[in-house]
Amino acid sequence: MRKYVVGGIDLWIPKECVSKKLHEVLLSGNYESSEAGALQRHLQTGDRLLDLGSGAGYLCALAAKMIGGNAVTGVEALPRMAEAAQQNLDSNSDAPGRIVWGAVVPDTFTGDTAILHTGRAFWASSLEGKGISHDVSQVEVPALRIGALLAEHRPTVISIDVEGGELGLFDTALPDHVRLIVMEVHPKKYGSSGVKRIFDGLSAAGLTYSPNGSRGSTVVFERVQE
């Protein structure tokens, strides 16, 4: 394990899950900086966060300091990183938060497990394997349907970075209690048509793009107030 400090959060990460590039990003303090900035702009007292693709648990730990650890749930597919994320959340919060091991999938997904493709850096793991240039391995993980996660944890805010796995998650209606989504989109994986599919799905669910906190591939959607 190696310790990094990002945005005042202590992160312990298994050495075998960090590539040279990721190591440099973690040292620079820019790891997940866009998503962190968006959450800092929008999280409010009383919010409940569901973080899909928690990685090292940074956003969960950051949110725990703002809204309390018991209001934070993360989902991480890579087994070693799910363990590390839980440890990082526990060590940076004075209240219990939870990291769930598994891969988030659309409600239409068939099967109880999914195949996760992993590389040297934990942040490149994905269900489809595109963009992992070397040292690819596979691991079978629990498949967690988005509808069940939303029903169980009832988040008001969702943050999501699942390396292309977001495509298809928002083809069905979202519950009214979801007021905000912070998402990293991956147009290199599914093209402009995939981006349009995501935007159209969220629009149909009553959310609209917000420039407040959006930056580059990190986009913010907020519920339209009638």
Instruction: Tokens 């069940």: give the residue.
Output: 148
Q: What is the pLDDT of residues 32-90, one digit of tens each?
A: 999 999 999 999 999 999 999 999 999 999 999 999 999 999 999 999 999 999 999 99
Domain ranges in the chain? Answer: 32-223
Q: What is the pLDDT of residue 130?
A: 53
Give CA–CA dist 74/25, Å, rounded: 22
Q: What is the pLDDT of residues 160-172, one digit of tens each?
A: 999 999 999 999 8
- Classified by CATH at the fold level, domain 32-223 comes out as Rossmann fold (3.40.50)
pLDDT at 133 exceeding the cut of 70? no
pLDDT at 121 exceeding the cut of 70? yes
pLDDT at 128 exceeding the cut of 80? no
Instruction: Tokens 């799910």: give the residue.
Output: 82
Q: What is the pLDDT of residue 129?
A: 55
Q: What is the pLDDT of residue 132?
A: 47
Contact 41, 28 (CB under 8 A): no
Tokens of 90: 């526990």
Q: What is the pLDDT of residues 5-37, one digit of tens each?
A: 999 999 999 999 999 999 999 999 999 999 999
Please give the full DSSP string across 28-90, using - where no structure is assigned.
Answer: HT-TTHHHHHHHHHH--TT--EEEES-TTTHHHHHHHHHH-GGGEEEEE-SHHHHHHHHHHHH
Give CA–CA dist 98/55, Å, rounded: 13
Tokens of 83: 């363990």
DSSP category for residue 111? S
Question: Is the pTM of the predicted complex or chain greater than 0.85?
Answer: yes
